[in-house]
Amino acid sequence: MATESMRDRLLAKLNSREACIGVVGLGYVGLPLALEFARAGFRVVGYDVSESVVKGLMRGESHIKDVPSAHVASAVAAGKFEATADESRLQEMDAVSIAVPTPLAKTRDPDMTYVIAAADAIARNCHPGLLIVLESTTYPGTTRDLMQPKLEAAGLTVGEDVFLAFSPERVDPGNATWNTRNTPKVVGGITAVCTEVASALYASCIDTIVPVSSTETAELVKLLENTFRSVNIGLVNEMQIVCDKLGVNVWEVIEAAATKPFGFMKFTPGPGIGGHCIPLDPHYLAWKMRTLNYKTRFIDLASEINSEMPALVVQRVAQALNDQRKPVKGCRILVLGVAYKRDVDDMRESPALDVISLLEERGAEVVYHDPYVPSFREDGHERTSVPFSDAELARADAVVIITDHSSIDYQRVVDLAPLVVDARNATAGLVRRGSGTAREKTPNVAIA
Ligand SMILES: NC(=O)c1ccc[n+]([C@@H]2O[C@H](COP(=O)([O-])OP(=O)(O)OC[C@H]3O[C@@H](n4cnc5c(N)ncnc54)[C@H](O)[C@@H]3O)[C@@H](O)[C@H]2O)c1
């Protein structure tokens, strides 16, 4: 009976928008979600341990490229959104979504410290009637084995006093078509009532909800999605190696295969995988399966091939320079694009970092240009983007395209750089324009 009334009360508060919604972790995932809840009419409190993130948001400044500052500022001004670093504010919430980092430790095992800290903060400030949803990507079993005991240690029975679910985040930074609202949301609760109330929360601001039968199912959905990408990218990366050995253009093969209207899905090769998800998430599943004495062979193989790609790009640079009678040592190399993918400013796990350090190990002088990454620090060394200028293009012995940002004028690159090594096919179909036919006929682009 008590369960029924907790459920009814929470559903009524969600339907009337009287519920106060909390979002724990205001990064790439949490901030857009918080603003979506605010847009749906809720009062939203975002809790983040970073004082600088909190202060910036309260000034109306967004630190996430896909979220305009104007959206943050208007939600703050309307009293619909506030950010705080005070965990006791969690006591005001009726529902909390957790979107904290889930990185890998150096040993490639899951690093659960952020999820544990967030769960502890919630357990310390929990009250009957609260709905908690974990959104951070993680191994199957996390919600039940790690989250549930913390709530029960606080004296609350999950499914009766409080509700607990997992709902994977699917945000695709830089995607102009699919956003938080129109991307279907998978929800799996510890009990059927947990799934029901969590689904009601997300239905307030997301068009399509996909309820599943358990938290483990919901956790695995996310891992399948990202393992699928990792394995297919590994496959096309291997095709690139195969094509290189056979003297065939891999991009032409892929484009032609992609004309098949059924049974083929296009993936493209590149200098390696980056970002927070695809290089890391499959290892959460591999780790979990190792604890059950099972080796996830597809995951391991894809990871092996994908992580070899930066070295292959560097090998291609060395070969192309060699064809121009130049050693890598002492050459000036301009890396174009250091973000992990097109049109984003996120450098996490970017293959550009490996390419740069491998080139420097061979004695090259490496500079970079990225319109979205004005500077970055790696291994204690601060780097600043050089301008995208005629002088920089002409001065480099080689320009290496790692990230194909759409704002870059690739024709200008092909025209001015003495040598281009293109790991993204950004220069496809471009021919060097020059003052004389001899220059026009000199091919200066190598596909990496
Ligand atoms: N970025 C993506 O494209 C993406 C897509 C899908 C899923 N995910 C998953 O979502 C989760 C969050 O990723 P993200 O990219 O938003 O991370 P992020 O690093 O951008 O943001 C995480 C935020 O959490 C805060 N934080 C850390 N510990 C905290 C704590 N104990 N309490 C409160 N706040 C805390 C950090 O200060 C930071 O602001 C991860 O599990 C990630 O795998 C990310």
Taking residues 109-138, report their average pLDDT. Answer: 97
Q: Quick one: which H or E segment has residue 316?
A: helix 297-323
Please give the distance, rounded to the nearest whole angstrom, from the Cα atom of residue 415 to the centre of ligand 1. 41
Q: Write out the catalytic residue numbers.
A: 277
Q: Is 285:296 a contact under the CB 8 Å cutoff?
A: yes
pLDDT in tens, 2-12: 556 899 999 99
Average pLDDT, the chain: 94
Going by pLDDT thresholds of 50, 70 and 90, the confidence category of residue 45 is very high
CA 94 to chain centre: 28
Ligand 1: lining residues by beta carbon, under 6 Å: 24-30, 47-50, 53, 99-102, 114, 117-118, 136-137, 169, 171, 173, 276-277
CA atoms within 13 A on the CB side of 65: 16
- What CA–CA distance (Å, rounded) separates 241 from 253? 13
User: 25 CA to middle of ligand 1, Å?
Assistant: 6
436 pLDDT tier (thresholds 50, 70, 90): low
Q: Hey, what are 204's tokens?
A: 């307030």
- Alpha carbons 193 and 197: distance in angstroms, whole number: 6
**Which residue has a Cα nearest atom 23 of ligand 1?**
25
What percentage of residues in the chain have a pLDDT greater than 70?
Answer: 96
Residue 163 main-chain phi, psi, to 5 deg: -120, 140
Residue 435 reports pLDDT greater than 80:
no
Segment 374-382 mean pLDDT: 92
Least reliable range by pLDDT among 167-176, 189-198, 234-243, 346-355:
167-176
Pocket test for ligand 1, best of 72, 100, 138 (most atoms within 8 A of CB): 100
The Å distance, Cα 442 to ligand 1 centre, comes to: 48
For 241-295, the DSSP string reads HHHHHHT--HHHHHHHHTT-SSS-------S---SSSTTTHHHHHHHHHHTTT--
pLDDT value of position 448: 63
Rounded Cα–Cα distance for residues 334 and 314 (Å): 13
**Segment 190-213, tens digit of pLDDT:** 999 999 999 999 999 999 999 999
pLDDT at 66: 84
For the chain, the 3-state helix, strand and coil shares in percent, each to the nearest 5, are 40, 15, 45
CA–CA dist 277, 349 (Å, integer): 9
What letter does residue 91 receive in the DSSP assignment? Answer: G
- Is residue 434 very low, low, confident or very high in pLDDT (cuts 50, 70, 90)? confident
pLDDT in tens, 136-193: 999 999 999 999 999 999 999 999 999 999 999 998 888 889 988 999 999 999 999 9
Residue 344 has pLDDT above 70, yes or no: yes
What would the mean pLDDT of 333-343 be, rounded to a whole number? Answer: 97
What is the DSSP annotation of 104-160?
B-TTSSB--HHHHHHHHHHHHT--TT-EEEE-S---TTHIIIIIHHHHHHTT--BTT
- Average pLDDT in the 45-64 region? 97
Give the DSSP H or E segment for 357: helix 351-361
> Across residues 380-391, what is the average pLDDT?
96
Question: Taking residues 377-405, what's their average pLDDT?
Answer: 96
| pLDDT tier for residue 24 given thresholds of 50, 70 and 90 | very high
For residues 143 and 332, give the distance between their C-alpha atoms in angstroms, rounded to a whole number: 50
Mean pLDDT of 295-304: 96
How many CA atoms within 13 Å lie on the side-chain side of 422? 24
Query: Could you tell me the CA-to-CA distances from 147 to 8, 220, 231, 284 in Å, in that order?
Result: 24, 17, 30, 17
Q: Interior CA angle at 395 toward 394 and 396, to 5°? A: 95
* pLDDT for the residue numbered 442: 52
For ligand 1, the distance from its centroid to the CA atom of residue 194, given in whole angstroms, is: 23
Tell the residue nearest (CA) to atom 20 of ligand 1: 27
Q: How far apart are CA 284 and CA 109, in angstroms?
A: 7
Looking at the CA of residue 170, tell me the nearest atom of ligand 1. Answer: 6
Probe residue for ligand 1, chosen from 55, 96, 169, 229 as the CB with the greatest number of ligand atoms within 8 Å = 169
Among 23, 28, 136, the mutation site with the greatest number of ligand 1 atoms within 8 A of its Cβ is: 28
Residue with tokens 């950010």, as numbered in its chain: 83
**Residue type at 113?**
T
| Alpha-carbon 78 to chain mean position | 30
Provide mean pLDDT across the span 247-268: 96
Give pTM, 2 decimals: 0.91
81-103: pLDDT as tens digits: 999 999 999 999 999 999 999 99
d(CA 73, CA 60): 4
From 76, 55, 214, select the one nearest 142 (Cα to Cα). Answer: 214
Higher pLDDT, 276 or 361: 361
Say whether 433 sits in a helix, a strand or coil. coil
Token pair recorded at residue 355:
């390419």
Cα(400) to ligand 1 centroid in Å equals 31
Nearest CA to ligand 1 atom 18: 27
136 Cα to the center of ligand 1, angstroms? 7
